[in-house]
């Protein structure tokens, strides 16, 4: 496995390694998931403090960005490479220094920008590309604005060139080897990481769901529950609500002289059509980019990060403008308050009025989103279940062991957790992510598909043919499997159990030519790399063996195994 296939393994895993050493990997994951929205919100707060004088305005912007439906949605599937989004706001702060303020030394600013790019590379490369696209859009818009103000453009050009030159040179040096390792190093994933028929580009946003929250998708919810993903109903990642749209439009109109509102409004609006993805029967802007190799692996919906970032900046500016404007009006009216009635005098000079006005604007924007999320927060969590075999037997395995663990369906990744908690003392066929996609498995793909089918809990009960047994045997040999483990514990969650233990056990018995042993609540086949003669039974005979086994589960597995081994016919 190429660890840079998912760079978050290093960018997040290494800094949190002390937690892993002290408390284990599950604790580390929980800490990272908990920190993600807070760090993202804090980064937005730091950015906004450059532009606003009222701290609550920066706080409101941080709330919108760090706790947006999009970032919280990414955490429901533990997508830390998306949810740990603290770098983009800090990059915006650096770009503000490079292109506008220009107070720090350009070499230092450029080096800081390069380090942020490196950090983002090791947190998530997809977000890095999306961030660079969003930054590129903003820079182009600023250059177009500068063409109408050539004196300003010329005055800032030298600083910007030095800073950007430093950033590019530094990032190139720091990322040259990691980038090569990720795209061309050992065990890298060539081409489209999700396969030639990838449909992720069709997973875009919907225009209506920006204002009206979409109902939970029952298909997605069912799939998540089946594969061990988020166990509660999924919620829309793109809901903004009417309140924030009203605030942004009204604030833009009132303070339209603020060029930052123009800039981030334009960047946010451009990101919306990019997030639509591809659609059957209609043209979308993503068709211009989907065939570019640099963008082919991006899921368009994830441009929502740019949309929420732009909206958060605009919201912070508008809240601050509201606070300042009401404060100015209060100060102006206090000078002639003595000429007004007493009740008007108390209202106009009330010192808390600017704060109240700012809070009201923030509430109009944020309360609808908070109300929408209230039905899904706190996020649903599940305890980590570990089958008995992985607690008692796996930590004591000796030699180089290669395990095939059930459920073996692609996308069910519980066995990876069991491997970690057992001490990583063995290798394993099972894997998640694009590396385990069937199209990457070569000669073993047919066998993997059959194992996937008998592990999958959707659809009709699978049937097993003689060619299936041949394919599974070939896959076990090609993978170098030494042990097959089939947990059989009713207390495990449904996604950690196969639909029929008898069917799976009989298939593996037929492929290996030996029945399993019962060990610590699991059916186990050892010395798989030295198999006996397989049982090439027919489809009808396999059905008779598995359907005719009577008694309890253990009796069924034993009877079916004996049946299939005794009914073997010569391979044809």
pLDDT class for 282, splitting at 50, 70, 90? confident
> Rounded to whole angstroms, what are the CA distances from 501 to 224, 265, 429, 556?
22, 56, 19, 9
* 407: preceding bond cis by omega (within 30 degrees): yes
Looking at per-residue pLDDT, the higher value among 5 and 520 belongs to 520
Q: Give the integer Cα–Cα distance in Å for 320 and 106.
A: 29
250 vs 552, residue with greater confidence: 250
Rounded Cα–Cα distance for residues 292 and 276 (Å): 17
CA distances from 30 to 23, 66, 237, 255, 488 (A): 11, 17, 21, 42, 28
Q: Looking at the predicted structure, is the pLDDT value of residue 14 above 80?
A: yes
Greater model confidence, 265 or 494: 265
Write the pLDDT tens digit of every residue in 362-395. 999 999 999 999 988 888 888 888 999 999 999 9
Strands 483-487 vs 427-428: parallel, antiparallel or unpaired: unpaired
Say what the pLDDT of residue 196 is: 58
With bands split at pLDDT 50, 70 and 90, how would you rate the model's confidence at 570? low
Cα–Cα dist 95/142, whole Å: 11
CA distances from 129 to 20, 78, 82, 302 (A): 29, 20, 12, 11
CA dist 536 → 107, 447, 455 (Å): 71, 15, 21
Q: Is the pLDDT confidence value at 19 over 80?
A: yes
The position carrying tokens 């640099």 is 294
Report the C-alpha dihedral over residues 27, 32, 38, 40, rounded to 10 degrees: 180
Q: What would the two tokens of residue 426 be?
A: 């063995």
Hey, what are 143's tokens?
């250059």
What is the rounded distance in angstroms from the CA atom of residue 260 to the CA atom of residue 262? 5
The Cα–Cα gap between 139 and 18 comes to 39
Mean pLDDT, to the nearest integer, of 172-185? 93
At residue 264, the pLDDT reads 98
Give percent of the chain with pLDDT exceeding 90. 55
What does DSSP say about strands 483-487 and 517-518: parallel, antiparallel, or unpaired?
unpaired
Distances (CA, A) of 29 to 34, 79, 80, 149: 9, 10, 9, 49
CA 326 to each of CA 59, 109, 161, 255, 366: distance values in angstroms, whole numbers, following the listed order: 19, 36, 40, 13, 20
Which tokens in the block code for residue 475? 């896959």
> pLDDT higher for 168 or 570?
168
Residue 551 above 60 pLDDT?
Answer: no
Long-range contacts of 285-288 (CB under 8 A, 24+ apart): 286/201, 286/204
Q: How far is CA 527 from the centre of its chain?
A: 38
| pLDDT attached to residue 228 | 66
Global pTM value = 0.90
pLDDT of residue 50: 96
112-147 pLDDT per residue, tens = 999 999 999 999 999 999 999 999 999 999 999 888
Instruction: Tell me the torsion sign for CA atoms 353, 354, 358, 359.
Output: negative
Longest dimension (CA), the chain: 109
- Residues 492/387, Cβ–Cβ less than 8 Å: yes
Residue 541: name the closest of 509, 505, 568 by CA. Answer: 568
Q: Does position 32 have pLDDT exceeding 90, yes or no? A: yes
Lowest mean pLDDT among 237-246, 312-321, 379-388, 455-464: 455-464
Question: Rounded to an integer, what distance in angstroms lies between the CA atom of residue 479 and that of residue 443?
Answer: 10
pLDDT of residue 348: 52
Say what the pLDDT of residue 191 is: 74
Residue-wise pLDDT tens digits, 324-338: 999 888 777 665 555
483 has which bridge partners?
A: 403
């Amino acid at each position: 496995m190429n660890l840079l296939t998912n760079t978050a393994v290093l960018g997040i895993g290494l800094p949190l390694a002390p937690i892993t050493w002290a408390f284990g990997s599950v604790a580390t994951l929980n800490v990272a998931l908990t920190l993600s929205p807070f760090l993202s919100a804090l980064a937005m707060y730091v950015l906004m403090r450059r532009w606003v004088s009222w701290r609550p305005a920066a706080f409101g912007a941080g709330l919108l960005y760090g706790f947006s439906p999009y970032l919280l949605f990414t955490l429901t599937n533990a997508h830390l490479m998306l949810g740990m989004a603290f770098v983009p706001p800090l990059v915006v702060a650096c770009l503000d220094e490079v292109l506008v303020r220009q107070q720090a030394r350009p070499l230092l600013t450029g080096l800081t920008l390069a380090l942020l790019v490196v950090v983002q590379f090791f947190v998530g490369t997809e977000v890095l590309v999306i961030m660079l696209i969003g930054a590129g859009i903003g820079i182009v818009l600023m250059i177009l604005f500068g063409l109408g103000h050539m004196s300003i453009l010329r005055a800032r050009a030298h600083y910007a060139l030095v800073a950007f030159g430093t950033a590019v040179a530094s990032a190139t040096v720091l990322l040259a080897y990691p980038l090569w390792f990720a795209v061309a190093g050992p065990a890298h994933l060539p081409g489209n990481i999700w396969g030639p028929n990838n449909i992720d580009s069709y997973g875009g946003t919907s225009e209506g769901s920006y204002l009206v929250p979409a109902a939970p998708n029952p298909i997605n919810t069912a799939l998540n529950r089946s594969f061990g993903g988020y166990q509660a109903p999924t919620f829309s990642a793109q809901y903004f609500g009417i309140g924030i749209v009203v605030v942004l439009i009204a604030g833009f109109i009132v303070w339209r002289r603020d060029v930052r509102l123009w800039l981030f409004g334009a960047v946010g609006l451009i990101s919306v059509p990019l997030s639509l993805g591809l659609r059957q029967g209609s043209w979308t802007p993503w068709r211009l980019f989907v065939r570019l190799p640099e963008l082919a692996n991006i899921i368009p919906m994830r441009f929502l990060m740019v949309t929420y970032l732009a909206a958060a900046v605009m919201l912070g500016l508008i809240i601050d403008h509201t606070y300042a404007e009401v404060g100015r009006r209060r100060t102006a009216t206090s000078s002639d308050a003595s000429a007004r009635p007493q009740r008007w005098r108390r209202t106009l000079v009330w010192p808390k009025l600017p704060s109240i006005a700012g809070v009201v604007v923030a509430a109009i924007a944020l309360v609808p989103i908070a109300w929408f999320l209230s039905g899904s927060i706190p996020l649903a969590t599940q305890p980590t279940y570990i089958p008995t075999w992985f607690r008692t037997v796996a930590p004591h395995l000796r030699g180089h062991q290669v395990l095939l663990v059930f459920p073996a369906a692609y996308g069910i990744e519980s066995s990876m957790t069991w491997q970690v908690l057992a001490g990583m003392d063995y290798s394993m066929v099972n894997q998640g992510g694009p590396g385990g996609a069937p199209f990457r498995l070569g000669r073993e793909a047919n066998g993997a598909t059959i194992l996937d089918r008998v592990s999958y809990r959707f659809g009709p009960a699978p049937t097993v043919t003689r060619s299936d047994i041949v394919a599974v045997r070939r896959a076990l040999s090609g993978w170098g499997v030494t042990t097959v483990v089939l947990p059989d514990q009713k207390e495990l969650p449904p996604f950690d159990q196969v639909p029929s233990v008898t069917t799976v056990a009989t298939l593996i018995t037929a492929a290996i030519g030996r029945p399993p042993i019962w060990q610590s609540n699991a059916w186990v086949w050892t010395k798989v790399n030295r198999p006996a003669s397989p049982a090439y039974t027919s489809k009808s005979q396999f059905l008779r063996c598995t359907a005719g086994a009577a008694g309890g589960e253990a009796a069924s597995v034993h009877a079916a195994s004996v049946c299939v081994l005794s009914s073997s016919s010569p391979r044809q």
